[in-house]
Amino acid sequence: MHKFIGISGLAIGRSETLSIEITGERRWKSVLRFAPVELPDLTILVGLNGSGKSQLLEAIERGAVSVKFDGQPAESQSSPLRIINDGALPPDLLGEAQLAIGRPIDIKNKNRTADKLLENFESSREAFLAKHMDELRILIEPSLEDILHEGEDVWRLGPEEVSRRAGASEQASFHIGRVFEAAAHTLMITKGASPEIFGLNRLPDAFFEAVAVGSGRALELTADDLQPHHLWTTVSTFSPPIAEVFNRYRELQLLRDIMEIADGRESTSTALSQAEFRKRYGEPPWVTVTEVLQAFGLPYSVPAPPPNVTDPTKFVLLDQEGSEVGLDSLSSGERVLLRVALSLLDYSKFKVGTSLPRLLLLDEMDASLHPEMVNRWLDAIARGVVGKLGLKCILTTHSPTTVALAPEQSLFEMRRGIAGPTNVSKPQAMNALTVGLPFLSIDYSGRRQIFTESDTDAEAFQLVESFLKAELALPRALAFISTGMRHKNNEQNAGCAQVRALVARLHDNGAANVRGVIDWDGKNTGDDRILVLAQNTHYALDNLLADPFLIGALMIYEQRPPKGIDFNFVGLDKLGSVERQQIADAVLAGTVKPADADGTLVDNNYVDGGSIKVPRFIQTMRGHALEDVLTAANPVLKKWRHRSGQLTSAVVKFVIRNHPRFCPTPIADLLRKLAG
């Protein structure tokens, strides 16, 4: 997942080659003809009502404004354009017509296009191999049919068996082998070819994936071998059939189970192990969807479909109490985030293909969003839709929040009577949105700059602040800046002395809004401008984040939980202090205590009011040494020990991101003080 910390520092702009170029070929309503305008990958349009923002998007969709991607004209098929007019969920995304929320999806009525490709596999294969069959007939005397039993396929016998049955000479056997090699090559060269080349005899792409998995057995494969690999359907990534994806995954699980039973009966080994199945198809999609929704701050989960395949699948949302939530009870802002969240899932691993537009047009989609949701939504568009999916995006807005969070190079303005969009600065964009409001001003000083000892500290604080901003009701935004310099695997010039000196110098020069944060380090004290994290309790930030319960939660997230622990990551927030203590104790089992440890137990507290008991040395030993102790007892943590700060960074990005209220209380207390 990606950070929800605002995108003002994100490098979204013009690439070395042309990104998007739009040209007003003809007038469309109030949109005049205009010369080519180069736009960045993410373009944010502002302007007064009636300036033509929405009509520009409509003109692009209708072709009145031409579009070039990286210098190449957009084509209707290879470069589809799609427009989304508002934040409502359209019927083809989650409505009853497609996904039927709360109503079953009938597995008998699903798309059968890919299945027909499988049904035609044998005839397609026969057509491809026809010329090689003629070559075999020449080599085998008296007749190829004489050596075959009823129902046998010569290609699946293999060259050795064919030569044996035919009583072929050494030279003839050699040529038979060469024919088999050529036949296999003929099948393989058709991958990715246009259907028009081969007509109805095109081989499904599932064939080539099955070959890759099956060690190259191209000539031996049957339609049954292709079944687990075939592309079940193709959908628009902005209208994904979630319930049908759930059903597909459940079918794949059932097929694996059936093959495993058959293996036991036939003493074969064709079925994937559970680990292999997860590696190929990923986590169950309902688990993935739940994690994505929660990462977007939506307090909902998605239950698994019933295990009985005769029962229909359906997509439903559950609230934190486990009650079903209807679409009509979602706020418009939640619907916007839900739509974007679902578009970012990787459907390919569920054997569902997706079709993407080259250019996404969003018309005031943020109109119903609270400022905190705007932050998440815009970050998802920038990092997910533009960054991850590789789409170009033009969006219109009337939201000052969106403009304040946007990269300045993304801002363009439409003006009535002016041809085409023009690049504007952030203050100019703000003025366009607040014209006629003489008593409204935008004060950028509401963001306080906080200097930290290191890059990793700055990143951790910034992420936690973004996760907890709404929970803590922070009165101002905080921008964390490192005074340290990273060199290879360590951080140099990073320490409290640099923080104190820099904050003092800036304050003396009139920057009254800056603050500094330093670790306690067993001795440090603060003042009005320098705050000490967890003074008199925790040695450093590392000691707070390398909390045994949080480390255990990270191991559960990685599906390699501590010994004796069997909790689901998504449900961890429902655990009480007793269960959290069990996880912490399992992480600490086998740790080597420092020689001077006295056995004293102290409290580690969390924002949600929970707590655990830990040995005093967990709080007071040097942070990096603590990570070494925990890693020695839990080797799974070694993957994060290649560089300083990686382990605690993983705790923030994977545990606190998904469960913000697991944040240690001293960090939350510090954020409140900094924002006050």
Q: What is the 3-state secondary structure (H, E, C) of 37-101?
A: EEECCEEEEECCCCCCHHHHHHHHHHCCEEEEECCEECCCCCCCEEEECCCCCCHHHHCCCCCCC
CB 226, CB 253: distance < 8 Å: no
* CA 173/CA 162 separation, integer angstroms: 9
Q: Is the pLDDT of residue 444 over 60?
A: no
Closest by alpha carbon to 25, among 53, 57, 60, 51?
60
* CA 109/CA 125 separation, integer angstroms: 28
Flag the least confident range among 67-81, 146-160, 507-521, 637-651.
Answer: 67-81
Beta bridge partner(s), residue 519: 533
Beta bridge partner(s), residue 405: none
Instruction: Give me the chain's average pLDDT, please.
Output: 78
Domains of the chain, start order: 20-80+356-434 (3.40.50.300), 113-229 (no CATH), 232-350 (no CATH), 443-676 (no CATH)
The pLDDT tens digits for 205-232 are 556 555 555 545 778 777 666 665 555 5
Q: How far is CA 312 from the centre of its chain?
A: 28
Peptide bond into 285 cis (omega under 30): no
The pLDDT tens digits for 557-584 are 988 999 999 888 878 888 888 999 999 9
Flag the least confident range among 260-264, 498-502, 575-579, 630-634.
Answer: 498-502
The pLDDT of residue 7? 38
The pLDDT of residue 410? 93
Radius of gyration (C-alpha) of the chain in whole angstroms: 31
Provide CB contacts within 8 A for 131, sequence distance 6+: none
Provide CB contacts within 8 A for 201, sequence distance 6+: 120, 123, 124, 127, 128
Closest by alpha carbon to 520, among 532, 502, 510?
532
pTM listed for this prediction = 0.46
The pLDDT of residue 345? 66
Which tokens in the block code for residue 133? 């069959």
* CA 611/CA 613 separation, integer angstroms: 7
Q: Is the pLDDT of residue 322 over 70?
A: yes
List strand residue ranges (DSSP E) for 162-291, in order: 233-236
pLDDT band at 164 (very low <50, low <70, confident <90, very high): very high
Flag the least confident range among 61-70, 348-357, 637-646, 666-675.
Answer: 348-357
The pLDDT of residue 199? 40
The pLDDT of residue 489? 39
The pLDDT of residue 550? 97
Flag the least confident range among 41-45, 53-57, 311-315, 490-494.
Answer: 490-494
- Percent of the chain past pLDDT 90, that is, above it, reads 29
Q: How many angstroms separate the Cα of 77 from the Cα of each of 70, 111, 191, 194, 357?
A: 17, 21, 21, 14, 10
